Amino acid sequence: MDTIQQTDFQFTGQVSAYHGKVRDMYGLADGRIVGVVSDRISAFDVILPRGIPHKGAVLNGVANCFLDAVSDIVPTWKLGSPHSHVTIGHWCEPIRIEMVIRGHLTGHAWRTYSSGLRSLCGVTLPEGMKEHDRFPTPIITPATKAEAGHDEDISREEILRRGLVDEALYLQMESVTRALFQRGNEMAAERGLILADTKYEFGIKDGKLMLIDEIHTPDSSRYFYAEGFDERQAAGAPQRQLSKEFVREWLMQNGFMGKTGQTCPEMPDAFVEQVAQRYIELFERLTGRTFPVPSAPPTDGLVDAVEAWLKANPAEPV
């Protein structure tokens, strides 16, 4: 099935192009940016050899749903979405910190905890917790945003010591992060899900904080099924979850964690289809809409849709 693995577009007014792990960002001279969400999938900060059908459309659709839903909390970069794989928005000066917030001891936090450590990013972790247990209060465990390679855990104290942002801005980022996480959990609960952890990225435009990138997608977040969660925890049973974690688990079972010298295994067709179906399920659970499976390759009409949107929505004079 057709997937968007690489892009090399040239839009009207384009002055730059940046190709990330999943998103390709095309900067325009008028201060806007065209974000094309590919079907690439990454894990352990490595882009895997095969793309996932429909993944970009799922990420773009979910992110747009939540960007609209949180715009009363913080301004967002989004201006419009003229194509299933595209969002157009404001260019912002990115803050090179990922604000990771965790409501449950799972994923990276659990791997840290199970190794015997009781501190993560300067946050003390309670004793006696089991995998997937709720934290008494969600914890914020930031990470530096690497241009390439692995992001690194960092504490609030180290962020301020290194002057990555000033204290007032960092405290604002923490406050907004908690408000966004609460909103995300409220919306997930309406759909029978628990938002276990996620991350947010911010930028600065005209001196003000702005939410950028994706939000509450299966790439940036981990969801549990709410029904039966407490019973499974009490019984020590595995939790049912909708996230990218099962891809990481498959990679680990096949001897890969992104470490030097390890070879990334190629996903077989059946597993790729399973991943695609999980992404579609999460889209439908979170948005309450049936996923519109396209009948044409995902790049069909993309450039025309972007150009038409830009023509119909001229940039405001600077």
Q: How far apart, in whole angstroms, are the C-alpha atoms of residue 104 and residue 221? A: 12
| CA distances to 10, 124, 181, 289 from 245, in Å | 35, 24, 19, 24
Average pLDDT value for residue range 251-262? 93
Assess whether 224 and 98 both reside in one domain: yes
Q: Is the pLDDT of residue 241 over 90?
A: no
**Single-letter code of the amino acid located at 79:** L
Q: How far apart, in whole angstroms, are the C-alpha atoms of residue 179 and residue 138? A: 11
> For residue 109, what is the DSSP state?
H
pLDDT tens digits for range 42-52? 998 899 999 99
Domain boundary among 191, 215, 246: 246
pLDDT value for 318: 57
Give the max Cα distance, the chain. Answer: 61
Q: What spatial distance separates the first Cα and last Cα of the chain, rounded to whole Å?
A: 43
| DSSP character string of 152-176 | EE--HHHHHHTTSS-HHHHHHHHHH
- With residue 36 as reference, give the H or E element that holds it: strand 32-37
Q: Is the pLDDT of residue 280 over 80?
A: yes
Assess whether 224 and 101 both reside in one domain: yes
- List the one residue out of 18, 265, 282 whose CA is nearest residue 147: 18
Assess whether 117 and 210 both reside in one domain: yes
**Top-confidence residue, 244 or 313:** 313
Assess whether 217 and 272 both reside in one domain: no
The CATH number of residue 281's host domain is 3.30.200.20
Average pLDDT value for residue range 262-289? 93
Assess whether 66 and 156 both reside in one domain: no
Place of tokens 């990454």: 42
Enumerate residues 6+ apart whose C-beta is below 8 A from 80: 87, 88, 89, 309, 313
Query: Is 303 part of any domain?
Result: yes
Place of tokens 């940039």: 315
Assess whether 33 and 166 both reside in one domain: no
Domain boundary among 246, 275, 296: 246
Q: How far apart, in whole angstroms, are the C-alpha atoms of residue 257 and residue 221? A: 19
Assess whether 180 and 271 both reside in one domain: no
Are 220 and 198 spatial neighbours (Cβ–Cβ below 8 Å)?
yes
Assess whether 110 and 204 both reside in one domain: yes
Are 239 and 233 spatial neighbours (Cβ–Cβ below 8 Å)?
yes
Query: Is 19 part of any domain?
Result: yes
- With residue 143 as reference, give the H or E element that holds it: strand 143-144
User: Which domain, by its residues, includes 34?
Assistant: 14-93+264-312
Assess whether 111 and 69 both reside in one domain: no
Assess whether 145 and 235 both reside in one domain: yes
Q: Angle at the Cα of 131 (from 125 to 137), degrees rounded to 5?
A: 45
Query: Is 251 part of any domain?
Result: no
Query: Is 1 part of any domain?
Result: no
Query: Is 259 part of any domain?
Result: no
**Single-letter code of the amino acid located at 200:** Y
pLDDT tens digits for range 208-232? 999 999 999 989 999 999 999 999 9
Q: How far apart, in whole angstroms, are the C-alpha atoms of residue 198 and residue 281? A: 18
What's the whole-number average pLDDT of the chain? Answer: 94
Assess whether 86 and 101 both reside in one domain: no
Query: Is 164 part of any domain?
Result: yes
Q: Which two tokens stand for residue 127?
A: 């004793």
Query: Is 318 part of any domain?
Result: no
Q: Is the pLDDT of residue 76 over 80?
A: yes
Q: How far apart, in whole angstroms, are the C-alpha atoms of residue 173 and residue 15? A: 30
pLDDT tens digits for range 115-163? 999 999 999 999 999 999 999 999 999 999 766 555 799 999 999 999 9
**Single-letter code of the amino acid located at 180:** L
Assess whether 79 and 120 both reside in one domain: no
- The count of domains in the chain is 2
The CATH number of residue 111's host domain is 3.30.470.20
Query: Is 252 part of any domain?
Result: no
